[in-house]
């Protein structure tokens, strides 16, 4: 028995839906902006994150950012 072609009927698969590639996600306004700012306004989607800092790393007093102190 072959599993090829059964992904559309499987409860464990994506029912034939193709997942966007990393490049497509990076170019997508939905993935790039909507989750942070809510633009473009898309109905029936969850509210944007209120925890995002707009791409700015948080400043923690007394802590050095990891990228400035990489392991050797």
Q: Is residue 35 part of a domain?
A: yes
What is the rounded CA–CA span in Å between residue 46 and residue 29? 15
Q: Is residue 25 part of a domain?
A: yes
Q: Is residue 67 part of a domain?
A: no
pLDDT band for position 70 (cuts 50, 70, 90) = confident
Whole domain around residue 38: which residue ranges? 17-46
Q: Is residue 34 part of a domain?
A: yes
Number of domains the chain is built from: 1
Backbone φ and ψ of 21, nearest 5°: -70, 170
Range from 50-54, 56-60, 67-71 that averages highest in pLDDT: 67-71
pLDDT band for position 48 (cuts 50, 70, 90) = confident
Q: Is residue 51 part of a domain?
A: no
pLDDT digits (tens, 9 = 90+) for 9-45: 777 766 667 777 888 877 776 666 777 777 777 778 7
Q: Is residue 42 part of a domain?
A: yes
Q: Is residue 28 part of a domain?
A: yes
Question: CA dist 1 to 5, 7, 14, 58, 70, Å?
Answer: 11, 14, 20, 53, 51
Supply the pTM of this predicted model: 0.33
What is the rounded CA–CA span in Å between residue 63 and residue 50? 24
């Amino acid at each position: 028995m072959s599993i090829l072609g059964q992904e559309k009927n499987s409860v464990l698969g994506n029912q034939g839906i193709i997942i966007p590639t990393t490049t497509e996600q990076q170019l997508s306004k939905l993935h790039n902006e909507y989750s942070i700012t809510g633009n473009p306004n898309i109905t029936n989607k969850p509210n944007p994150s209120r925890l995002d800092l707009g791409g700015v790393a948080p400043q923690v007093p007394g802590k050095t950012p990891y990228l400035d102190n990489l392991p050797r």
